[in-house]
Structure 1
Amino acid sequence: MTSSKLGGKRKRTGFLLFLFSASFSLLVIGMICSLKWGTVSLSWTTLFEALTYRGHEKEHLYVQTLRLPRALTACLVGMQLALAGLLTQLLTRNPLASPHVFGINAGAALAVVCGLVTFANFSLPASIGFAFCGAAAGAALVWSLAGSGEKAYVRLALAGITIHFFLSALTEGMIILNQNSSETMIFWLVGSLSRAGWTNVRILLPFFASGLLLFALLLPSFRLLLMDDELAAGLGGRLRFIRAVGMLLVIALAGSAVALCGPIGFVCLIVPHIARALTGSRSLYVVAPLTGLLGAALLLFADFVSRFIAFPYESPAGIVTAAIGAPFFIYLARRQGGGSR
């Protein structure tokens, strides 16, 4: 009996090691594809020289100043969005939830559109500031409407959906009323990494590092969100404080990502489900790191594929994630509905 349990545990550990190794390998392959192929295909020698900064030709500079920061931005944004989605589903106890529920994407989009309409020379730092403030304001509005107390997570989801549609309607109205800037607005709203540079990486890194550190430190507390409120409170959990900190963490992770690359859809929703399905576990110590790896890999490949949709022109990466995520969302909705029945 004991030997069989030990054998099962070893098999489980071996499977998880294989799963994490495969996910990391997928991330590396996505990085290589993103650096090597695009509107200009590079040789392996040129790519190696560019990454080791041994050459200063046009091709080397193309990798160093455009493709490398773009790939790194895709990794950071994908990981942040995936972890934000996982945390959103924990906070709301809704498997179909994403940062849309907190009004983050809609708030950021409305703020950036307002900036594009109001100011003629709307710079990248200004758009980042506007988007982050809009994301925080949208989340604060949803949180204030949800209140606290018993079943607060239910009211949070309902308030979030209402605010999301309200802010999205305002955004669409401003786009219709300002046709001159509509192309730029729509391209940003779909979600794109085409303008990512080293400035984006430098801006994202503080949010990325601090967000991941806080997520790791609070992982034991977030596990209480998997329990009933009464049981978690009986174990000494301060649920109101945990949800408030979780809310701030979602704003930091998703808000900063949306501010730079637009509201890239479905990464927040589908990646946590894929991680749970692959591991067959609800343990956050297993699901959370795998979610981050898969989120980075998914956005890397989505950005890579988006380069060839209308080649040689760029397409938003949000088109690819939506094409993958929409059928997956329908599948999840039908499965949840079937389970409830």
Structure 2
Amino acid sequence: MKPMPMYEKQSRKWPLLFLFSTSILIMMMGVICSLKWGQAQVSWRTLLEALTYQGSDKAHLYIQTLRLPRAIMACIVGMQLALAGLLTQLTTKNPLASPHIFGINAGAALAVVVGLVALPHFGNIGLIGFAFVGAALSALLIWSLAGTGRQQYVRLALAGITIHFLMSSLTEGFIIMNQHATDSMIFWLVGSLNQAAWTEVRIILPFFVGGMVLFSFMLPSFKLLLMDDDIAAGLGQRVNLVRGISILLVILLAGSAVALCGPIGFVCLLVPHMARAMVGNNLTILGPLTALLGGNLLLYADFLSRFIAFPFESPVGIVTSAIGAPYFIYLARKQGGVR
């Protein structure tokens, strides 16, 4: 392959810079919208005073302790879910794959519900531990059912969907049998950021930073997942090791997000395709853009969810499902497959 001429590199640099700058600007605007509008009316002056900590009355505290951590949580969780979806699609070589559809989110949700019923006094850290165990067990079960061979990736899809429905049914069964302990879980199971506070932000931040660092460190190796397994193995690459690390990273990113905000649907599936349509399969660019778009999607979806049944709150999962379900049908029916 001939090296790209310098003028072509320069011609690509500016559109990419504009794309990333626009994505960051849109995210900043989304944070401002999330802080400004909602159940309570907030003036621009009050908003500025709250952000600069120049006041401490009820309105300022409302922004500082409720709306600001919720907006930050939406950005973080959206980034984590989007990257988890991208890695799932690369690992399974299935453009319609995601932790949600493949049962990983459902396994994490089941484990959290079981933890709440069996150990109701467990804190959020304990719930994250339960979520990791549930996600890991689901992933192991799916891969064991898929087996090996050329049809492995087809069987992965079938096993993932099967485990998803199994775990979801068990979760609903636990809720029905333990309604007194799980009444507050209804919003969470649809996917909700309503209860996000600084405590949740501090809990998820190490998982977010650790996941981003590991993703950046492994980015050159993850490019192997774009290649055919036989070709990569023929080049002497450790494909199975890279795939294993990818699955662990999916569990880390998706498990911590599900434990705190519930199994928010379709962000994992939708965002990687949006990013891929803009920049192609260059992972060096695709990864960061996927994260930015994921944060933007969940941030604006959470903002819109406040007005569905205004002045009452609605789960953000309603908005992401309303957007993602038609898009999933489009991808599934698209002639010639998806990129």
TM-score range, shorter chain: over 0.9
| Whole-angstrom distance in 1 between the partners of 2:126 and 2:11 | 52
Q: Which shifted more, 96-105 or 215-224?
A: 96-105
Cα-to-partner distance string for 1:53-79 (whole Å, 9 max, x where unaligned): 111111111111111111111111000
| Whole-angstrom distance in 2 between the partners of 1:145 and 1:131 | 21
- Secondary structure at the aligned position of 2:293 is classed as helix
Cα-to-partner distance string for 1:302-321 (whole Å, 9 max, x where unaligned): 11111111111110000010
Give how far 1:160 is off: 2.0
| Whole-angstrom distance in 2 between the partners of 1:9 and 1:101 | 38
Q: Which shifted more, 41-50 or 155-164?
A: 155-164
One-letter amino acid of the structure 1 residue matched with residue 57 of structure 2: E
Number of the residue aligned with 1:255: 255
Report 1:12-91 matches (<5 A).
12-91=12-91
One-letter amino acid of the structure 1 residue matched with residue 308 of structure 2: I
Give how far 1:273 is off: 0.3
Report 1:152-191 matches (<5 A).
152-180=152-180, 183-191=183-191
Number of the residue aligned with 1:308: 307
| Distance change (3 Å), C-alpha of 1:248 and 1:120 | closer
Number of the residue aligned with 2:318: 319
Report 1:115-194 matches (<5 A).
115-119=115-119, 121=121, 123-148=123-148, 152-180=152-180, 183-194=183-194
On the 8 A contact 2:100/2:265 being kept in 1, the answer is: no
Cα-to-partner distance string for 1:230-264 (whole Å, 9 max, x where unaligned): 11112221111011111100000011001100000
Give how far 1:198 is off: 0.9
Number of the residue aligned with 1:333: 332
| Whole-angstrom distance in 1 between the partners of 2:252 and 2:42 | 36
| Whole-angstrom distance in 2 between the partners of 1:231 and 1:195 | 48
| Whole-angstrom distance in 1 between the partners of 2:120 and 2:207 | 28
One-letter amino acid of the structure 2 residue matched with residue 293 of structure 1: L
| Distance change (3 Å), C-alpha of 1:199 and 1:166 | same
Number of the residue aligned with 1:10: 10
| Whole-angstrom distance in 1 between the partners of 2:234 and 2:101 | 28
On the 8 A contact 1:148/1:240 being kept in 2, the answer is: no
| Whole-angstrom distance in 1 between the partners of 2:6 and 2:44 | 46
| Whole-angstrom distance in 1 between the partners of 2:101 and 2:238 | 22
Number of the residue aligned with 2:270: 270
Are 2:260 and 1:246 aligned?
no
One-letter amino acid of the structure 2 residue matched with residue 305 of structure 1: L
Cα-to-partner distance string for 1:173-210 (whole Å, 9 max, x where unaligned): 22333444564232111000000011111111111111
| Whole-angstrom distance in 1 between the partners of 2:93 and 2:331 | 15
Counting matched residue pairs gives 336
Report 1:271-310 matches (<5 A).
271-279=271-279, 281-310=280-309
On the 8 A contact 1:78/1:297 being kept in 2, the answer is: yes
Q: Which shifted more, 305-314 or 131-140?
A: 131-140
Cα-to-partner distance string for 1:128-186 (whole Å, 9 max, x where unaligned): 33323222222232233334565544443332222212111211222333444564232
One-letter amino acid of the structure 2 residue matched with residue 230 of structure 1: D
| Distance change (3 Å), C-alpha of 1:39 and 1:324 | same
One-letter amino acid of the structure 2 residue matched with residue 236 of structure 1: G
Give how far 1:36 is off: 1.2
| Distance change (3 Å), C-alpha of 1:150 and 1:244 | farther
On the 8 A contact 2:104/2:138 being kept in 1, the answer is: yes
Gaps of at least 5 residues in structure 1 are none
| Distance change (3 Å), C-alpha of 1:151 and 1:232 | farther
On the 8 A contact 1:35/1:63 being kept in 2, the answer is: yes
Number of the residue aligned with 1:212: 212
Give how far 1:121 is off: 4.9
